[in-house]
Amino acid sequence: MNLDSFASTIGDSVLAAVLLGLFIFASRLSPGLRGIALWGWCHFFYTVGSAIASVAAAAGAGGRTDADRAAVFGAFLACLSVAGLAASVAIFVRQRPLRPRQRWGLAAALPVLCVALWIAYRGDQSSGIPAVQSWCEVVMLSWMAWALRRLRQPPYRVPARLMQAAASALIALYLVEWTVQMRVGQASPLSDLSWSHADVSLWFLLNFCMLMLASFRAVEAYQRTANLDPLTGVLNRRGLEDALLRHATGKPRGRHDAPALMVLAIDLDHFKRINDSHGHAAGDAVLRAVAQCLQSSVRAEDAVGRLGGEEFVVVGAETDPARSLRVAERVRERAAALRFPAVAPSLRVTVSIGVACGPREAWQELLARADEALYQAKGQGRNRVVAAQAPSAPA
């Protein structure tokens, strides 16, 4: 390895350390954001492993010397790290842990990697070890590009597509290098300083886009927090208004002949009496339990919000009056079945519900009609569901 290549390797490692600090900083700014810190650590160890492998390969003379063993260790570290990079992207995209089959796939790949490196170490180290690393990089970069396809909405779409393009370019580079190396039977002509610059530039683009995605996710998380009720975790008034606007302006998914918007206005019966008799801690527990009951009783795409006090609202798109009444009745029955052994074993709660269903463009009218139906339900004795009357046609 000449002096320029050695200096380039040191520079890559320093840059990877700086990027690691940036990713750790980003993860601490948004503690709930998954995959960011893992990406930073894996990229750092991938760079270090690749540097060890390249320096050791240049210093080794074959015959299973210490330099050759160091090359195997560096390639092993690089392969593990690039697998971690792909896993971190899959985690980041879904903001959930890896699926069981993905974890099992990674676990099954580990012994395969060990066997492949052992065979390369026992055979032609000059071509075998880089070939194992190249194929591992190709497989994991392909997984990374596949996982990024889920990011289709702005502002995630552009950096995600840039990452897919960079991953595809790296795959092409590694495949060309491996092909040339296998045919020539010696160090690839592509393994010079210009190829190294292209490789580093593409990895820098991947890191830059990952930082962009992390910043977008962080902003989204802060906005989501600003739209949530701190006590119950459901939408607050501002978040509910945004959800209503989304449902009113979004494209319908089907059933064009059916009313497209359902609004349930829900109020806890005698909530002041609960606070007076059992204390505010019990009242808070009731509000949280009712909010969870509402979320479990409706579809994932429906919006649940708390307007304030003991009043909640549920908004659902692509529905009809019959289904709206079934949902409201299910909510009423589940709320009546709630128990609070930790705060008040004898406490029972009921809810009154007003239901309105109609064209999604008239969401403000639907909200007012659902509220009127709620007052009718309370006036008729509470613990019941009342459907709002359809507006009369103008004469």
Domain span holding position 82: 3-226
Report the alpha-carbon distance of residue 1 to residue 194 in Å, rounded. 14
The CATH number assigned to the domain holding 254 equals 3.30.70.270
Strands 303-308 vs 385-387: parallel, antiparallel or unpaired:
unpaired
pLDDT at 147: 96
Inside any domain, residue 364: yes
Verify that 159 and 249 share a domain, yes or no. Answer: no
Q: Burial of 28 by CB count in 10 Å (0-12 exposed, 13-18 middle, 19+ buried)?
A: exposed
Same domain, 146 and 73: yes
Preceding amide of 155 cis, omega within 30: yes
pLDDT in the model for residue 395: 42
Q: Where are any strands of DSSP class E within the chain?
A: 261-268, 303-308, 311-317, 351-358, 385-387
User: Are residues 182 and 242 located together in one domain of the fold?
Assistant: no
Beta strands across the sheet bearing 351-358: 303-308, 311-317, 261-268, 351-358, 385-387
- Do 211 and 242 have their domain in common? no
CA distance 127 to 79: 16
**Nearest to 88, CA basis, from 170, 235, 188, 210:** 210
Based on the fold, state whether residues 220 and 329 are members of the same structural domain. no
User: Last residue of a domain, which of 203, 226, 249?
Assistant: 226
Q: In this structure, are 204 and 299 located in the same domain? A: no
Number of domains in the chain: 2
Model pTM above 0.75: no
Query: Domain check: are 213 and 277 in the same one?
Result: no
pLDDT at 23: 94
Same domain, 204 and 256: no
Residue 71 in tokens: 């090359």
Burial of 76 (0-12, 13-18, 19+ CB in 10 A): buried
Residue 383 domain-assigned (yes or no): yes
Supply the pLDDT for residue 394. Answer: 46
* Residue 108 burial (10 A CB sphere; 0-12, 13-18, 19+): exposed
Residue position matching structure tokens 């066997």: 115
How far is CA 32 from each of CA 40, 95, 220, 229, rounded to the nearest angstrom? 16, 9, 12, 18
Domain end point (choices 226, 249, 280): 226
Same domain, 293 and 262: yes
In a domain? residue 380 = yes
Residues 269 and 142 in one domain: no
109 in a structural domain: yes
Per-position pLDDT tens, the chain of length 395: 556 666 777 888 899 999 999 999 988 888 778 999 999 999 999 999 998 888 887 775 555 577 888 889 999 999 999 999 999 999 999 888 999 999 999 999 999 999 999 988 887 656 788 889 999 999 999 999 999 999 998 899 999 999 999 999 999 998 887 887 777 655 554 455 567 778 889 999 999 999 999 999 888 878 777 888 989 989 999 888 888 887 777 655 544 445 578 999 999 999 999 999 889 899 999 999 999 999 999 987 889 999 989 999 999 887 888 999 999 999 999 999 999 988 888 889 999 999 999 887 788 899 999 999 999 999 999 999 999 987 654 44
